[in-house]
Structure 1
C-alpha cells in the first residue's frame, strides 16, 4: 500500500492561494520531483480545473514557459490524475479519472493500487481526507510571505489536533522551506 501525501504551497500565515507563493525554477523542480516519486495525483474538482486550464497547453508547447515549468507540465501530462467531484463526471485531460462513490473507500483503493503513493494537492479535499484519517504524510512548501488573506489551510477545521513527526526541513535559495512531516501513530504520548 502506498502513502497518501498532502503537498501544497503555504505562506507563513496559512494562505494557500496559489498566487501568494514564489513560483520559480527551484519550486517547480521541487514539485516535479515529488510528482515523479508518486504513482498518481489526487485533486478536487476546483484544483483539477485550475490545472487543466493551463498545464496541458504548456506540455504541448502552445504556451511559452521556462524549462522547469515545461518539465513539470510534461511529467504531469503522463501522470495518472484522479479527481473527486460530485458535480462533474467527464475529465478529458490525458490520464484523468473520476473518483466517485464513497470517499474513504475510493481513496483507500487508490492508495492500495499505488505502491509509490498518491500525491494530494487540494486544500479543501485534504481537510476531508484528514477527517477520515487517510493522510499519511505532509510535504508543505512554506513561503517567506504573509499574504494577509485566504483561503487558509484547514479553514474548515478538524475534529482533533494532528501530531506530526518532522522528517526533514530543506531551505531553498528563495527563502522558502520544504517541510516533510509524517503523521504520528495514534496513541503516541504528547509528553515524549
Structure 2
C-alpha cells in the first residue's frame, strides 16, 4: 500500500489560496520532484478544474512558460490523476479518472493500487480524508507571507489534534520552507 501525502502551498497565516504563494522555478522544481516520486495525483473537483483549465495548454506549448514550469506541465500531463466529485463524472484531461466509490473505499483502493504513493493537493478534500484517518504524510511549502484572508488550511476543523513527526525541513532561496511530516504513531 502506498502512502497518501497531502502537499500544498500555505502562507504563515494558513492561507492556501494558490495565488498567494511564490511560484518561481525552484518551487516548481520542488513540486516536480515530489510528483515524480508519487504514482498518482488526487484532487477534488474544484482543484481538478483549476488545474485542467491551465496546465494542458502549458504541456502542449500553446502557453509560454519557463522550462521548469513546462517540465511540471509535461510530467503532470502523463501522471495518473484521480478526482473525487459527487457532481461531475466526466474528466477528459489525459490520464484522469473519477473515484466513484464512497470516499473511504475509493481512496483506500487507490492507495492499495499505487505502491509509489498518492500525492493529494486539495485543501477541502484533505480535511475530509483526515477525518477518515487516510492521510499518512504532509509536505507543506510554507511561504514567507501573511495573506490576511482565506481559504485556510483545515478551516472546517478536524475531530482532534493530529500529532506529527518531522521528517525534514528544507529552506528554498525565496524564503519558502518545505516541511515534511509523517503521522506520529
- Range class of TM-score, shorter chain: over 0.9
Q: Would you say 1:47 and 2:47 are equivalent positions?
A: yes
Which residue is equivalent to 1:184?
184
Which residue is equivalent to 1:189?
none
Q: Distance in 2 between matches of 1:149 and 1:54?
A: 24
Relative to the length of structure 1, the TM-score reads 0.96
Q: Would you say 1:125 and 2:125 are equivalent positions?
A: yes
Q: Would you say 1:97 and 2:131 are equivalent positions?
A: no
Return the offset for 1:87. 0.3
CA RMSD of aligned residues (A): 0.3
Q: Distance in 2 between matches of 1:93 and 1:11?
A: 30
Write the deviation string for residues 142-163 of structure 1: whole angstroms up to 9, x where unpaired: 0000000000000010000000
Return the offset for 1:124. 0.0
Give unmatched runs, 5+ long, in structure 1. 186-192
- What's the secondary structure of 2:20's corresponding residue? coil
Q: How does 1:12-91 map to 2 (within 5 A)?
A: 12-91=12-91
Which residue is equivalent to 2:145?
145
Return the offset for 1:127. 0.0
- What's the secondary structure of 1:19's corresponding residue? helix
Give unmatched runs, 5+ long, in structure 2. none
Q: Distance in 1 between matches of 2:60 and 2:102?
A: 35
Write the deviation string for residues 69-108 of structure 1: whole angstroms up to 9, x where unpaired: 0000000000000000000000000000000121001100
Which residue is equivalent to 2:106?
106
- What's the secondary structure of 2:19's corresponding residue? coil
